[in-house]
Chains A and B, each alone.
Chain A
Amino acid sequence: MKNRLKARRYAEALYEVASERGHCDLIEAELMVIKEVFYAKSELVSFLQNPQQWMNRARIIKSTFTTFSSEVVKTLLIMVEHHAEKEVGSMVDYYVTLLNRDRCIGVGKVLTAEPLAEERLEEISVRFAPKFNFKRLKLINVIEPDILGGFKIIVNQQVYDASVQGRLRNMKKNFVPLYKR
Chain B
Amino acid sequence: MEIRAEDISALIKKQIQYYQNDTEIYDLGTVIETGDGIAQIYGLNNALLGELVEFLDGTMGLVQSLEEDRVGVVILGSHLSIREGDEVRRTGRIMEVPVGKSLLGRVVNPLGQPIDGKGPIKTRKTRPIEAHAPGVMERKSIHEPLQTGIKAIDALVPIGRGQRELIIGDRQTGKTTVAVDTILNQKNQNMFCIYVAIGQKDSTVRATVETFRKHGALDYTIVINAGASAPAPLQYLAPYAGVAMGEEFMFSGEHALVIYDDISKQAAAYRELSLLLKRPPGREAFPGDVFYLHSRLLERAAKLSDELGGGSLTALPFVETQAGDISAYIPTNVISITDGQIFLQSDLFFAGVRPAINPGLSVSRVGGSAQTKAMKKVAGTLRIDLASYRELESFAQFGSDLDRSTLAKLNRGKRTIEVLKQGLHQPIAMENQVMIIYALIHGFLDEIPLEDITRFETELYPYLEAAYPEVLAEIRQSGKLASSADMEEAIRTFTKQFIVSA
Contacts and interface: CB of A to CB of B under 8 A. Distances in A.
Interface in A161-181: 161-162, 173-179, 181
B89 A157 contact: no
> Which has the most chain B C-beta neighbours within 10 Å: A1, A154, A173?
A1
B72 to A, nearest CB: 13
Given A175-B7, A179-B120, 10 more contacts: A1-B32, A131-B25, A157-B29, A162-B23, A175-B1, A175-B11, A176-B1, A176-B58, A179-B113, A181-B57
A30 B312 CA distance: 69
Nearest to B120: A177
Contacts of B3: 175
A38 B365 CA distance: 71
Q: How large is the interface on B (under 10, 10 to 19, 20 to 34, 35 or more residues)?
A: 20 to 34
Interface string B223-237: 000000000000000
A176 B111 CA distance: 17
B77 interface: yes
B28 interface: yes
Contacts of A158: 25-28
A154 to B, nearest CB: 7
Contacts of A175: 1, 3, 7, 11
B487 to A, nearest CB: 55
Nearest to B121: A179
B114 A179 contact: yes
B11 A181 contact: no
Contacts, number: 49
Interface in B1-30: 1, 3, 7, 11, 14, 23, 25-29
B273 to A, nearest CB: 21
A5 B69 contact: yes
A160 interface: yes
A127 interface: no
Q: How large is the interface on A (under 10, 10 to 19, 20 to 34, 35 or more residues)?
A: 20 to 34
A32 interface: no
Nearest to A150: B23
A78 interface: no
A1 B41 CA distance: 12
Interface string A110-134: 0000000000000000000001100
Contacts of B68: 5
Nearest to B81: A181
Given A157-B44, A157-B45, A178 B11 contact: no
Given A5-B68, A174-B11, A175-B11, A160 B58 contact: no
A30 to B, nearest CB: 26
A176 B59 CA distance: 12
A159 B70 CA distance: 17
A103 interface: no
A181 B113 CA distance: 12
